[in-house]
A and B are shown apart, each in its own frame.
Chain A
Amino acid sequence: MYRILEKRKLNPTVTLMKIEAPAVAKKAEPGQFIILRTDADGERIPLTIADYDRAAGSVTIIFQIVGATTEKLGHMETGDCLCDFVGPLGRATETEGLRKVAVVGGGVGCAIAYPVAKKLFEQGAEVHAVVGFRTKELVILEDEFAAASHRLVKMSDDGSWGEKGLVTDALRGLIESGEVYDEVITIGPLPMMKFVCKLTREYGIKTVASMNPIMIDGTGMCGGCRLTVGGETKFACVDGPEFDGHLIDFDEAIARSSMYKPFERAAHEATCNLFSKEVK
Protein backbone atom coordinates (compact mmCIF):
# COMPACT_ATOMS: atom_id res chain seq x y z
CA MET A 1 0.00 0.00 0.00
CA TYR A 2 1.05 3.52 -0.74
CA ARG A 3 0.52 5.81 2.26
CA ILE A 4 -0.19 9.52 2.00
CA LEU A 5 2.57 11.08 4.14
CA GLU A 6 1.56 14.69 3.67
CA LYS A 7 -1.28 16.64 2.10
CA ARG A 8 -1.32 20.35 1.36
CA LYS A 9 -3.81 22.46 -0.57
CA LEU A 10 -1.94 24.79 -2.90
CA ASN A 11 -5.05 26.60 -4.07
CA PRO A 12 -8.79 25.84 -3.98
CA THR A 13 -8.54 23.13 -6.66
CA VAL A 14 -4.88 22.08 -6.62
CA THR A 15 -3.49 19.75 -3.96
CA LEU A 16 0.01 18.45 -3.21
CA MET A 17 0.54 14.99 -1.74
CA LYS A 18 3.65 13.14 -0.68
CA ILE A 19 3.20 9.43 -1.21
CA GLU A 20 5.23 6.65 0.38
CA ALA A 21 6.61 4.71 -2.59
CA PRO A 22 10.28 3.87 -2.03
CA ALA A 23 10.75 1.85 -5.21
CA VAL A 24 9.41 4.71 -7.35
CA ALA A 25 11.34 7.36 -5.38
CA LYS A 26 14.56 5.41 -5.92
CA LYS A 27 14.33 5.76 -9.70
CA ALA A 28 12.29 8.92 -10.27
CA GLU A 29 13.65 11.75 -12.44
CA PRO A 30 12.09 15.10 -13.43
CA GLY A 31 9.79 14.71 -16.42
CA GLN A 32 8.64 11.20 -15.53
CA PHE A 33 5.18 10.27 -14.28
CA ILE A 34 3.30 7.72 -12.19
CA ILE A 35 -0.08 6.04 -12.57
CA LEU A 36 -2.32 5.63 -9.54
CA ARG A 37 -5.65 4.19 -8.49
CA THR A 38 -7.32 5.47 -5.35
CA ASP A 39 -9.24 2.24 -4.73
CA ALA A 40 -9.83 -1.21 -6.19
CA ASP A 41 -12.71 0.00 -8.37
CA GLY A 42 -10.95 3.17 -9.44
CA GLU A 43 -9.63 4.23 -12.83
CA ARG A 44 -5.94 4.53 -13.59
CA ILE A 45 -4.79 8.14 -13.87
CA PRO A 46 -1.34 9.41 -14.85
CA LEU A 47 0.24 12.23 -12.85
CA THR A 48 3.64 13.75 -13.40
CA ILE A 49 6.17 13.45 -10.60
CA ALA A 50 6.47 16.90 -8.99
CA ASP A 51 9.30 15.98 -6.63
CA TYR A 52 10.85 12.98 -4.89
CA ASP A 53 12.95 12.21 -1.85
CA ARG A 54 15.03 9.07 -2.30
CA ALA A 55 16.12 8.97 1.36
CA ALA A 56 12.57 9.31 2.69
CA GLY A 57 11.21 7.01 -0.01
CA SER A 58 8.53 9.50 -1.00
CA VAL A 59 7.18 10.84 -4.28
CA THR A 60 5.30 14.15 -4.52
CA ILE A 61 2.34 14.57 -6.81
CA ILE A 62 0.36 17.74 -7.49
CA PHE A 63 -3.08 17.42 -9.01
CA GLN A 64 -6.00 19.56 -9.98
CA ILE A 65 -9.51 18.35 -9.29
CA VAL A 66 -11.12 17.84 -12.68
CA GLY A 67 -12.90 14.47 -12.62
CA ALA A 68 -14.23 11.82 -10.31
CA THR A 69 -10.85 10.27 -9.51
CA THR A 70 -9.09 13.53 -8.64
CA GLU A 71 -12.16 14.50 -6.59
CA LYS A 72 -11.87 11.24 -4.63
CA LEU A 73 -8.13 11.70 -4.28
CA GLY A 74 -8.72 15.21 -2.95
CA HIS A 75 -10.89 13.75 -0.19
CA MET A 76 -8.16 11.36 0.98
CA GLU A 77 -6.13 12.44 3.99
CA THR A 78 -2.66 12.01 5.47
CA GLY A 79 -2.37 8.41 6.66
CA ASP A 80 -4.77 7.02 4.05
CA CYS A 81 -3.37 4.62 1.46
CA LEU A 82 -3.67 4.60 -2.31
CA CYS A 83 -4.54 1.23 -3.79
CA ASP A 84 -1.96 1.41 -6.60
CA PHE A 85 0.99 3.63 -7.46
CA VAL A 86 3.31 2.57 -10.27
CA GLY A 87 6.33 4.19 -11.86
CA PRO A 88 8.45 5.97 -12.67
CA LEU A 89 7.10 5.84 -16.23
CA GLY A 90 8.17 7.63 -19.39
CA ARG A 91 11.49 9.24 -20.17
CA ALA A 92 13.20 11.81 -17.99
CA THR A 93 13.68 15.40 -19.17
CA GLU A 94 16.94 15.76 -21.06
CA THR A 95 18.78 18.59 -19.36
CA GLU A 96 22.38 17.74 -20.17
CA GLY A 97 24.43 20.42 -21.82
CA LEU A 98 21.78 23.15 -21.50
CA ARG A 99 23.20 26.48 -20.37
CA LYS A 100 20.33 28.90 -20.69
CA VAL A 101 16.73 27.81 -20.68
CA ALA A 102 13.30 29.41 -20.50
CA VAL A 103 10.84 27.25 -18.59
CA VAL A 104 7.29 28.26 -19.49
CA GLY A 105 4.56 26.91 -17.22
CA GLY A 106 0.83 27.47 -17.20
CA GLY A 107 -1.69 26.67 -14.46
CA VAL A 108 -1.28 23.28 -12.82
CA GLY A 109 1.38 22.52 -15.46
CA CYS A 110 3.68 24.63 -13.26
CA ALA A 111 3.74 21.67 -10.89
CA ILE A 112 5.58 19.74 -13.60
CA ALA A 113 7.62 22.69 -14.83
CA TYR A 114 9.01 23.29 -11.35
CA PRO A 115 11.11 20.10 -10.93
CA VAL A 116 12.52 20.64 -14.41
CA ALA A 117 13.48 24.23 -13.55
CA LYS A 118 14.96 23.02 -10.27
CA LYS A 119 17.08 20.36 -11.92
CA LEU A 120 18.41 22.80 -14.52
CA PHE A 121 19.10 25.38 -11.80
CA GLU A 122 21.01 22.83 -9.73
CA GLN A 123 23.04 21.85 -12.79
CA GLY A 124 24.16 25.44 -13.11
CA ALA A 125 22.07 26.47 -16.11
CA GLU A 126 20.64 29.97 -16.28
CA VAL A 127 16.93 29.48 -15.77
CA HIS A 128 14.26 31.98 -16.73
CA ALA A 129 10.86 30.93 -15.48
CA VAL A 130 7.77 32.32 -17.16
CA VAL A 131 4.68 31.23 -15.26
CA GLY A 132 1.08 32.10 -15.87
CA PHE A 133 -2.21 31.61 -14.05
CA ARG A 134 -5.77 32.72 -14.74
CA THR A 135 -5.90 34.72 -11.53
CA LYS A 136 -4.02 35.32 -8.26
CA GLU A 137 -6.12 32.83 -6.31
CA LEU A 138 -4.84 29.96 -8.47
CA VAL A 139 -1.12 30.68 -8.12
CA ILE A 140 1.01 27.75 -6.94
CA LEU A 141 4.71 27.27 -6.17
CA GLU A 142 5.64 30.97 -6.41
CA ASP A 143 8.42 30.73 -3.79
CA GLU A 144 9.71 27.49 -5.26
CA PHE A 145 10.01 29.02 -8.72
CA ALA A 146 11.70 32.09 -7.28
CA ALA A 147 14.29 29.84 -5.63
CA ALA A 148 14.90 27.77 -8.75
CA SER A 149 15.28 30.51 -11.34
CA HIS A 150 17.50 33.49 -12.09
CA ARG A 151 14.60 35.41 -13.48
CA LEU A 152 10.91 34.88 -12.71
CA VAL A 153 8.26 36.45 -14.92
CA LYS A 154 4.77 36.28 -13.46
CA MET A 155 1.71 36.54 -15.66
CA SER A 156 -2.03 36.40 -15.04
CA ASP A 157 -5.01 36.62 -17.36
CA ASP A 158 -6.70 39.31 -15.27
CA GLY A 159 -3.64 41.19 -14.04
CA SER A 160 -4.25 40.29 -10.39
CA TRP A 161 -0.80 38.70 -10.13
CA GLY A 162 2.34 39.92 -11.92
CA GLU A 163 1.71 41.33 -15.38
CA LYS A 164 -1.59 41.10 -17.16
CA GLY A 165 -1.26 38.96 -20.26
CA LEU A 166 -0.26 35.57 -21.62
CA VAL A 167 2.97 33.68 -21.10
CA THR A 168 3.59 33.98 -24.83
CA ASP A 169 3.57 37.80 -24.51
CA ALA A 170 6.17 37.56 -21.75
CA LEU A 171 8.31 35.08 -23.66
CA ARG A 172 8.25 37.22 -26.78
CA GLY A 173 9.30 40.21 -24.67
CA LEU A 174 12.28 38.31 -23.26
CA ILE A 175 13.41 37.09 -26.66
CA GLU A 176 12.94 40.52 -28.24
CA SER A 177 14.93 42.13 -25.43
CA GLY A 178 17.91 40.06 -26.49
CA GLU A 179 17.77 36.96 -24.26
CA VAL A 180 19.17 33.97 -26.15
CA TYR A 181 17.97 30.56 -25.01
CA ASP A 182 19.41 27.14 -25.88
CA GLU A 183 15.98 25.71 -25.34
CA VAL A 184 12.45 26.52 -24.21
CA ILE A 185 10.65 23.93 -22.10
CA THR A 186 6.89 24.36 -21.90
CA ILE A 187 4.34 22.60 -19.72
CA GLY A 188 0.72 23.60 -19.38
CA PRO A 189 -2.64 23.48 -21.14
CA LEU A 190 -2.47 22.24 -24.75
CA PRO A 191 -3.51 25.56 -26.36
CA MET A 192 -0.84 27.39 -24.35
CA MET A 193 1.87 24.94 -25.41
CA LYS A 194 0.67 25.15 -28.99
CA PHE A 195 1.14 28.92 -29.04
CA VAL A 196 4.45 28.84 -27.17
CA CYS A 197 5.73 26.44 -29.84
CA LYS A 198 4.36 28.63 -32.62
CA LEU A 199 6.19 31.60 -31.16
CA THR A 200 9.54 29.88 -30.69
CA ARG A 201 9.36 28.45 -34.19
CA GLU A 202 9.39 32.04 -35.48
CA TYR A 203 12.67 32.56 -33.66
CA GLY A 204 14.07 29.11 -34.39
CA ILE A 205 14.48 28.18 -30.71
CA LYS A 206 14.36 24.46 -29.91
CA THR A 207 11.29 23.81 -27.78
CA VAL A 208 10.23 20.80 -25.74
CA ALA A 209 6.59 20.33 -24.71
CA SER A 210 5.40 17.90 -22.03
CA MET A 211 2.27 16.04 -23.11
CA ASN A 212 -0.33 14.61 -20.76
CA PRO A 213 -2.80 12.65 -22.89
CA ILE A 214 -5.40 10.08 -21.88
CA MET A 215 -3.65 6.93 -20.78
CA ILE A 216 -4.41 3.52 -19.30
CA ASP A 217 -1.49 1.18 -18.78
CA GLY A 218 1.38 3.64 -19.27
CA THR A 219 3.73 0.95 -20.56
CA GLY A 220 3.10 1.12 -24.31
CA MET A 221 0.52 -1.63 -24.40
CA CYS A 222 -2.73 0.17 -25.25
CA GLY A 223 -1.84 3.05 -27.58
CA GLY A 224 -4.47 5.35 -26.06
CA CYS A 225 -1.91 8.11 -25.49
CA ARG A 226 -0.74 8.22 -29.11
CA LEU A 227 -0.04 11.48 -30.83
CA THR A 228 1.52 12.56 -34.09
CA VAL A 229 5.04 13.98 -33.89
CA GLY A 230 6.73 14.88 -37.16
CA GLY A 231 4.23 12.74 -39.08
CA GLU A 232 4.99 9.66 -36.97
CA THR A 233 2.67 8.06 -34.42
CA LYS A 234 4.31 8.20 -30.99
CA PHE A 235 3.20 6.98 -27.59
CA ALA A 236 3.45 9.61 -24.85
CA CYS A 237 3.88 6.89 -22.19
CA VAL A 238 7.06 5.32 -23.56
CA ASP A 239 8.38 7.71 -26.22
CA GLY A 240 7.56 10.81 -24.12
CA PRO A 241 5.96 12.48 -22.33
CA GLU A 242 8.22 15.23 -23.73
CA PHE A 243 8.51 15.84 -27.46
CA ASP A 244 9.91 18.39 -29.88
CA GLY A 245 7.21 21.03 -29.69
CA HIS A 246 7.72 22.13 -33.28
CA LEU A 247 6.80 18.67 -34.55
CA ILE A 248 3.72 17.91 -32.39
CA ASP A 249 0.31 17.94 -34.07
CA PHE A 250 -1.37 19.97 -31.33
CA ASP A 251 -4.77 20.20 -33.02
CA GLU A 252 -5.02 16.42 -33.10
CA ALA A 253 -3.87 16.20 -29.47
CA ILE A 254 -6.47 18.78 -28.42
CA ALA A 255 -9.23 16.86 -30.20
CA ARG A 256 -8.16 13.53 -28.66
CA SER A 257 -7.97 15.02 -25.17
CA SER A 258 -11.69 15.88 -25.31
CA MET A 259 -12.76 12.25 -25.93
CA TYR A 260 -14.33 11.79 -22.49
CA LYS A 261 -15.13 15.38 -21.47
CA PRO A 262 -18.91 14.77 -21.07
CA PHE A 263 -18.29 11.54 -19.12
CA GLU A 264 -15.67 13.26 -16.96
CA ARG A 265 -18.02 16.10 -16.11
CA ALA A 266 -20.92 13.80 -15.26
CA ALA A 267 -18.74 11.48 -13.20
CA HIS A 268 -17.26 14.43 -11.33
CA GLU A 269 -20.70 15.80 -10.49
CA ALA A 270 -21.89 12.38 -9.33
CA THR A 271 -18.84 12.04 -7.07
CA CYS A 272 -19.30 15.54 -5.66
CA ASN A 273 -22.93 14.74 -4.89
CA LEU A 274 -21.84 11.57 -3.14
CA PHE A 275 -19.38 13.44 -0.95
CA SER A 276 -21.83 16.24 -0.15
CA LYS A 277 -24.41 13.62 0.88
CA GLU A 278 -21.85 12.09 3.23
CA VAL A 279 -21.25 15.48 4.78
CA LYS A 280 -24.98 15.95 5.41
Chain B
Amino acid sequence: MPNLSPKKNSMPSQDPKLRARNFDEVALGYTAEMAVEEADRCLNCKKQLCVEGCPVGISIPSFIQKVKVGEFEEAYRIISEASSLPAVCGRVCPQESQCEGRCVRGIKGEPVGIGRLERFVADYHNAIAPEAPQKPVSNGRRVAVVGSGPAGLTCAGDLAKRGYDVTVFEALHTAGGVLVYGIPEFRLPKAIVAKEIDTLKALGVRVEVNTVVGKTVSVHELMKEEGFEAVFIGTGAGLPRFMKIPGENLKGVYSANEFLTRVNLMKAYRKDSATPIQHARRVVVVGGGNVAMDAARSALRLGADQVYIVYRRSLDELPAIR
Protein backbone atom coordinates (compact mmCIF):
# COMPACT_ATOMS: atom_id res chain seq x y z
CA MET B 1 0.00 0.00 0.00
CA PRO B 2 1.58 3.31 -1.04
CA ASN B 3 1.88 6.27 1.29
CA LEU B 4 -1.28 8.26 0.47
CA SER B 5 -0.32 11.48 2.21
CA PRO B 6 -1.25 14.41 -0.07
CA LYS B 7 1.82 16.27 1.10
CA LYS B 8 5.51 15.70 0.48
CA ASN B 9 7.43 14.42 3.46
CA SER B 10 8.89 17.68 4.70
CA MET B 11 12.65 18.10 4.56
CA PRO B 12 14.43 19.42 7.64
CA SER B 13 15.86 22.90 7.23
CA GLN B 14 17.72 25.51 9.23
CA ASP B 15 15.59 27.73 11.43
CA PRO B 16 14.53 30.79 9.34
CA LYS B 17 15.80 33.32 11.90
CA LEU B 18 19.16 31.61 12.07
CA ARG B 19 19.63 30.94 8.35
CA ALA B 20 18.80 34.53 7.38
CA ARG B 21 22.17 35.47 8.86
CA ASN B 22 24.45 32.69 7.65
CA PHE B 23 25.52 31.20 4.33
CA ASP B 24 25.15 27.54 5.37
CA GLU B 25 22.81 25.38 3.35
CA VAL B 26 19.14 26.07 4.12
CA ALA B 27 17.72 22.61 3.38
CA LEU B 28 19.33 19.81 5.32
CA GLY B 29 18.17 16.77 3.36
CA TYR B 30 16.20 13.62 4.18
CA THR B 31 17.29 10.89 6.54
CA ALA B 32 17.07 7.36 5.13
CA GLU B 33 13.72 6.84 6.93
CA MET B 34 12.27 10.06 5.50
CA ALA B 35 13.46 9.12 2.02
CA VAL B 36 11.87 5.66 2.18
CA GLU B 37 8.64 7.20 3.42
CA GLU B 38 8.60 9.73 0.57
CA ALA B 39 9.51 7.05 -1.99
CA ASP B 40 6.42 5.16 -0.81
CA ARG B 41 4.29 7.98 -2.24
CA CYS B 42 5.36 7.01 -5.79
CA LEU B 43 2.68 5.00 -7.58
CA ASN B 44 5.17 3.56 -10.08
CA CYS B 45 2.85 4.52 -12.95
CA LYS B 46 2.85 2.56 -16.22
CA LYS B 47 2.89 5.80 -18.19
CA GLN B 48 5.90 7.55 -16.76
CA LEU B 49 5.05 11.21 -17.16
CA CYS B 50 7.84 12.25 -14.78
CA VAL B 51 10.45 10.71 -17.10
CA GLU B 52 8.95 12.59 -20.03
CA GLY B 53 9.33 15.78 -17.99
CA CYS B 54 13.00 15.15 -17.26
CA PRO B 55 15.37 16.77 -19.78
CA VAL B 56 17.87 13.91 -19.44
CA GLY B 57 15.23 11.18 -19.06
CA ILE B 58 16.27 9.73 -15.70
CA SER B 59 14.44 6.47 -15.05
CA ILE B 60 12.68 8.11 -12.11
CA PRO B 61 10.20 5.42 -10.97
CA SER B 62 12.95 2.78 -11.19
CA PHE B 63 15.28 4.67 -8.88
CA ILE B 64 12.42 5.45 -6.50
CA GLN B 65 11.52 1.74 -6.33
CA LYS B 66 15.08 1.09 -5.16
CA VAL B 67 14.83 3.83 -2.52
CA LYS B 68 11.61 2.18 -1.27
CA VAL B 69 13.50 -0.99 -0.44
CA GLY B 70 16.59 0.78 0.91
CA GLU B 71 18.86 -0.05 -2.03
CA PHE B 72 20.27 3.46 -2.23
CA GLU B 73 23.46 2.63 -4.10
CA GLU B 74 21.43 0.85 -6.77
CA ALA B 75 19.20 3.93 -6.97
CA TYR B 76 22.34 6.03 -7.49
CA ARG B 77 23.50 3.75 -10.28
CA ILE B 78 20.16 4.17 -12.07
CA ILE B 79 20.29 7.99 -11.78
CA SER B 80 23.92 8.03 -12.96
CA GLU B 81 23.01 6.27 -16.18
CA ALA B 82 21.30 9.48 -17.29
CA SER B 83 22.68 12.26 -15.08
CA SER B 84 26.24 13.36 -14.41
CA LEU B 85 25.38 15.80 -11.63
CA PRO B 86 22.76 14.23 -9.33
CA ALA B 87 23.73 16.05 -6.10
CA VAL B 88 23.53 19.36 -7.98
CA CYS B 89 20.34 18.61 -9.91
CA GLY B 90 18.61 17.25 -6.81
CA ARG B 91 19.08 20.70 -5.29
CA VAL B 92 18.68 23.26 -8.05
CA CYS B 93 16.83 21.65 -10.98
CA PRO B 94 13.43 23.32 -11.52
CA GLN B 95 11.63 20.08 -10.66
CA GLU B 96 8.28 21.85 -10.25
CA SER B 97 8.18 22.57 -13.97
CA GLN B 98 9.85 19.31 -15.06
CA CYS B 99 9.54 15.85 -13.44
CA GLU B 100 7.43 16.88 -10.45
CA GLY B 101 5.29 19.13 -12.63
CA ARG B 102 4.07 16.03 -14.48
CA CYS B 103 3.64 13.70 -11.46
CA VAL B 104 0.05 12.37 -11.10
CA ARG B 105 0.24 12.75 -7.34
CA GLY B 106 0.42 16.47 -8.01
CA ILE B 107 -3.15 16.54 -9.36
CA LYS B 108 -4.69 16.02 -5.89
CA GLY B 109 -2.00 17.27 -3.55
CA GLU B 110 1.74 17.60 -3.85
CA PRO B 111 3.81 15.61 -6.34
CA VAL B 112 6.36 13.06 -5.18
CA GLY B 113 9.46 14.90 -3.93
CA ILE B 114 11.62 13.61 -6.77
CA GLY B 115 14.24 16.33 -6.34
CA ARG B 116 14.54 15.62 -2.62
CA LEU B 117 14.92 11.90 -3.32
CA GLU B 118 17.54 12.49 -5.98
CA ARG B 119 19.41 14.72 -3.56
CA PHE B 120 19.18 12.12 -0.80
CA VAL B 121 20.49 9.34 -3.06
CA ALA B 122 23.40 11.46 -4.33
CA ASP B 123 24.36 12.66 -0.85
CA TYR B 124 24.12 9.10 0.49
CA HIS B 125 26.45 7.92 -2.24
CA ASN B 126 28.93 10.78 -1.73
CA ALA B 127 28.89 10.38 2.07
CA ILE B 128 29.83 6.69 2.10
CA ALA B 129 32.84 7.75 -0.01
CA PRO B 130 32.73 4.88 -2.46
CA GLU B 131 35.59 4.13 -4.80
CA ALA B 132 35.97 6.47 -7.73
CA PRO B 133 33.99 5.32 -10.75
CA GLN B 134 35.76 3.02 -13.18
CA LYS B 135 37.38 4.93 -16.02
CA PRO B 136 35.68 3.75 -19.22
CA VAL B 137 37.77 2.20 -22.01
CA SER B 138 39.00 5.03 -24.21
CA ASN B 139 37.91 5.18 -27.82
CA GLY B 140 40.82 7.56 -28.51
CA ARG B 141 38.69 10.39 -29.81
CA ARG B 142 39.17 13.87 -28.38
CA VAL B 143 36.39 16.35 -27.69
CA ALA B 144 36.75 19.90 -26.33
CA VAL B 145 34.04 21.39 -24.15
CA VAL B 146 33.98 25.17 -23.80
CA GLY B 147 32.60 26.24 -20.44
CA SER B 148 32.37 24.19 -17.26
CA GLY B 149 28.84 25.13 -16.23
CA PRO B 150 25.97 22.64 -16.01
CA ALA B 151 25.77 22.20 -19.79
CA GLY B 152 29.49 21.66 -20.28
CA LEU B 153 29.85 19.31 -17.31
CA THR B 154 26.84 17.26 -18.39
CA CYS B 155 28.18 16.98 -21.92
CA ALA B 156 31.65 16.07 -20.61
CA GLY B 157 30.22 13.40 -18.31
CA ASP B 158 28.05 11.81 -20.98
CA LEU B 159 30.91 11.71 -23.48
CA ALA B 160 33.42 10.40 -20.95
CA LYS B 161 31.09 7.54 -20.05
CA ARG B 162 31.07 6.60 -23.74
CA GLY B 163 34.87 6.52 -23.82
CA TYR B 164 35.66 9.93 -25.31
CA ASP B 165 38.75 11.81 -24.22
CA VAL B 166 37.22 15.08 -22.99
CA THR B 167 38.91 18.35 -22.04
CA VAL B 168 36.79 21.12 -20.52
CA PHE B 169 38.03 24.71 -20.92
CA GLU B 170 37.00 27.25 -18.28
CA ALA B 171 37.64 31.02 -18.37
CA LEU B 172 37.51 31.49 -14.58
CA HIS B 173 39.91 30.01 -12.04
CA THR B 174 37.39 27.45 -10.78
CA ALA B 175 35.25 24.98 -12.70
CA GLY B 176 31.47 24.96 -12.29
CA GLY B 177 30.25 28.06 -14.12
CA VAL B 178 26.98 29.42 -12.71
CA LEU B 179 27.02 26.64 -10.10
CA VAL B 180 30.01 28.34 -8.45
CA TYR B 181 29.68 32.02 -9.38
CA GLY B 182 25.90 32.40 -9.47
CA ILE B 183 23.99 30.05 -7.18
CA PRO B 184 24.69 30.88 -3.53
CA GLU B 185 26.33 28.56 -1.05
CA PHE B 186 23.14 28.33 1.02
CA ARG B 187 21.28 26.81 -1.92
CA LEU B 188 24.12 24.78 -3.41
CA PRO B 189 27.25 24.25 -1.30
CA LYS B 190 30.38 24.60 -3.42
CA ALA B 191 31.90 21.48 -1.87
CA ILE B 192 29.11 19.51 -3.55
CA VAL B 193 29.90 21.01 -6.95
CA ALA B 194 33.59 20.21 -6.43
CA LYS B 195 32.71 16.63 -5.52
CA GLU B 196 30.63 16.18 -8.69
CA ILE B 197 33.51 17.58 -10.76
CA ASP B 198 35.93 15.18 -9.04
CA THR B 199 33.64 12.33 -10.12
CA LEU B 200 33.92 13.55 -13.73
CA LYS B 201 37.70 13.77 -13.40
CA ALA B 202 37.75 10.16 -12.20
CA LEU B 203 35.94 9.29 -15.43
CA GLY B 204 38.90 10.82 -17.28
CA VAL B 205 37.60 14.33 -17.93
CA ARG B 206 40.37 16.96 -17.91
CA VAL B 207 39.62 20.51 -16.81
CA GLU B 208 41.73 23.47 -17.98
CA VAL B 209 40.93 26.61 -16.01
CA ASN B 210 42.11 30.16 -16.86
CA THR B 211 41.49 29.53 -20.55
CA VAL B 212 39.24 31.89 -22.47
CA VAL B 213 38.41 30.13 -25.71
CA GLY B 214 38.35 32.81 -28.38
CA LYS B 215 41.13 34.73 -26.62
CA THR B 216 43.73 32.36 -25.16
CA VAL B 217 43.05 29.75 -27.82
CA SER B 218 40.63 29.71 -30.75
CA VAL B 219 38.14 27.01 -31.71
CA HIS B 220 40.03 26.74 -34.99
CA GLU B 221 43.28 26.00 -33.13
CA LEU B 222 41.58 23.44 -30.92
CA MET B 223 40.41 21.55 -34.00
CA LYS B 224 43.31 22.07 -36.42
CA GLU B 225 46.31 22.13 -34.09
CA GLU B 226 45.32 20.43 -30.87
CA GLY B 227 43.56 17.42 -32.33
CA PHE B 228 40.02 17.85 -31.04
CA GLU B 229 37.53 16.26 -33.42
CA ALA B 230 34.53 18.06 -31.99
CA VAL B 231 33.89 21.13 -29.85
CA PHE B 232 30.85 21.65 -27.61
CA ILE B 233 30.21 25.30 -26.80
CA GLY B 234 28.40 25.71 -23.48
CA THR B 235 29.24 29.31 -22.66
CA GLY B 236 25.97 30.15 -20.97
CA ALA B 237 23.79 33.20 -20.92
CA GLY B 238 26.62 35.64 -21.58
CA LEU B 239 26.43 39.35 -20.96
CA PRO B 240 24.03 40.84 -18.42
CA ARG B 241 21.59 43.24 -20.05
CA PHE B 242 21.23 46.74 -18.76
CA MET B 243 17.99 48.54 -19.40
CA LYS B 244 19.03 52.21 -19.48
CA ILE B 245 17.25 52.90 -16.23
CA PRO B 246 18.50 56.34 -15.17
CA GLY B 247 21.14 55.89 -12.48
CA GLU B 248 21.91 52.25 -13.18
CA ASN B 249 25.63 53.03 -13.42
CA LEU B 250 25.75 54.84 -10.08
CA LYS B 251 28.13 53.67 -7.38
CA GLY B 252 26.43 50.91 -5.43
CA VAL B 253 24.38 49.54 -8.33
CA TYR B 254 25.26 45.96 -9.20
CA SER B 255 24.16 43.57 -11.87
CA ALA B 256 23.09 40.31 -10.20
CA ASN B 257 26.03 38.61 -11.90
CA GLU B 258 28.56 40.95 -10.33
CA PHE B 259 26.96 40.88 -6.88
CA LEU B 260 26.60 37.10 -6.83
CA THR B 261 30.07 36.52 -8.32
CA ARG B 262 31.61 38.62 -5.56
CA VAL B 263 29.62 36.73 -2.93
CA ASN B 264 29.87 33.20 -4.29
CA LEU B 265 32.96 32.74 -6.42
CA MET B 266 35.08 35.29 -4.55
CA LYS B 267 33.61 34.49 -1.09
CA ALA B 268 33.08 38.18 -0.25
CA TYR B 269 30.70 37.09 2.54
CA ARG B 270 33.67 35.85 4.56
CA LYS B 271 35.28 38.38 6.86
CA ASP B 272 38.75 37.51 5.54
CA SER B 273 37.88 37.69 1.82
CA ALA B 274 40.24 39.72 -0.34
CA THR B 275 37.34 40.71 -2.59
CA PRO B 276 35.32 43.73 -1.47
CA ILE B 277 31.54 44.06 -1.50
CA GLN B 278 29.14 46.79 -0.39
CA HIS B 279 27.65 45.94 2.99
CA ALA B 280 24.50 47.97 2.58
CA ARG B 281 21.87 48.44 5.28
CA ARG B 282 18.99 48.95 2.87
CA VAL B 283 18.93 47.05 -0.39
CA VAL B 284 16.57 47.03 -3.35
CA VAL B 285 16.53 44.09 -5.73
CA VAL B 286 14.86 44.78 -9.06
CA GLY B 287 13.27 41.67 -10.54
CA GLY B 288 11.34 38.63 -9.38
CA GLY B 289 13.10 35.56 -10.74
CA ASN B 290 15.26 33.00 -8.98
CA VAL B 291 18.36 35.13 -9.48
CA ALA B 292 16.61 38.08 -7.84
CA MET B 293 15.78 35.85 -4.86
CA ASP B 294 19.41 34.67 -4.67
CA ALA B 295 20.54 38.31 -4.63
CA ALA B 296 17.96 39.36 -2.02
CA ARG B 297 18.75 36.42 0.25
CA SER B 298 22.49 37.06 -0.11
CA ALA B 299 22.05 40.75 0.74
CA LEU B 300 20.14 39.81 3.89
CA ARG B 301 22.83 37.36 4.90
CA LEU B 302 25.49 40.03 4.35
CA GLY B 303 23.80 41.95 7.15
CA ALA B 304 21.26 44.26 5.51
CA ASP B 305 18.50 45.52 7.80
CA GLN B 306 15.96 45.76 5.02
CA VAL B 307 15.83 44.11 1.63
CA TYR B 308 13.08 45.04 -0.82
CA ILE B 309 12.18 43.11 -3.94
CA VAL B 310 10.66 45.33 -6.61
CA TYR B 311 8.78 43.47 -9.30
CA ARG B 312 6.70 44.94 -12.12
CA ARG B 313 3.77 42.49 -12.04
CA SER B 314 1.65 40.89 -9.31
CA LEU B 315 2.89 38.53 -6.63
CA ASP B 316 1.11 35.63 -8.38
CA GLU B 317 3.08 36.27 -11.55
CA LEU B 318 6.46 36.38 -9.81
CA PRO B 319 8.53 33.76 -11.69
CA ALA B 320 10.74 32.58 -8.79
CA ILE B 321 10.19 29.09 -7.34
CA ARG B 322 7.91 29.18 -4.27
List residues of chain A with CB under 8 Å of any chain B CB: 23-24, 27, 37, 41-44, 68-69, 83-89, 216-217, 219-224, 226-228, 233, 235, 238, 252, 255-256, 258-260, 263-264, 267
Contacts and interface: CB of A to CB of B under 8 A. Distances in A.
A223 B216 contact: no
Shortest Cβ-Cβ A-B pairs, 5 listed: A223-B255, A222-B258, A263-B276, A86-B210, A43-B274
30 contacts: A24-B216, A27-B216, A43-B266, A43-B275, A68-B274, A84-B209, A85-B210, A87-B215, A216-B261, A216-B266, A217-B171, A217-B261, A220-B238, A221-B181, A221-B236, A221-B240, A222-B240, A222-B255, A222-B258, A223-B240, A223-B255, A224-B258, A226-B242, A233-B242, A238-B239, A256-B249, A259-B251, A259-B278, A260-B276, A267-B276
A228 B248 CA distance: 11
Contacts of B254: 224
A86 B216 contact: yes
A83 B249 contact: no
Contacts of B244: 233
Contact of A84 (B173, B212, B215, B262): B173
B268 to A, nearest CB: 9
A221 B274 contact: no
A86 B276 contact: no
A67 to B, nearest CB: 9
Interface string B267-303: 1000011111010000000000000000000000000
Contacts of B252: 259
Contacts of A219: 171, 212
Nearest to A235: B239
B251 A256 contact: yes
- Max chain A Cβ within 10 angstroms of own Cβ: one of B172, B181, B211, B217: B172
Nearest to B236: A221
B239 A223 contact: yes
Nearest to B173: A84
The A contact surface, by secondary structure, is mixed
A252 to B, nearest CB: 6
Interface residues of B, number: 37
A235 B171 CA distance: 17
Interface string B115-134: 00000000000000000000
Contacts of B217: 23, 27
Contact of B211 (A23, A228, A260, A267): A23
A88 B240 CA distance: 22
A44 B216 contact: no
Contact of B261 (A85, A221, A252): A221
- Max chain B Cβ within 10 angstroms of own Cβ: one of A69, A216, A227: A216
Interface in B69-122: none
Interface in B195-252: 209-212, 215-217, 236, 238-240, 242, 244, 248-252
A220 B248 CA distance: 17
B59 interface: no
Contact of A258 (B248, B251, B265): B251
A219 B210 CA distance: 11
A215 to B, nearest CB: 10
A223 B257 CA distance: 7
A176 B111 CA distance: 79
Contacts of B257: 221-223
B240 A255 contact: no
A23 B275 CA distance: 27
B274 A267 contact: yes
Contact of B173 (A27, A37, A227, A255): A37
Nearest to A39: B274
A203 to B, nearest CB: 29
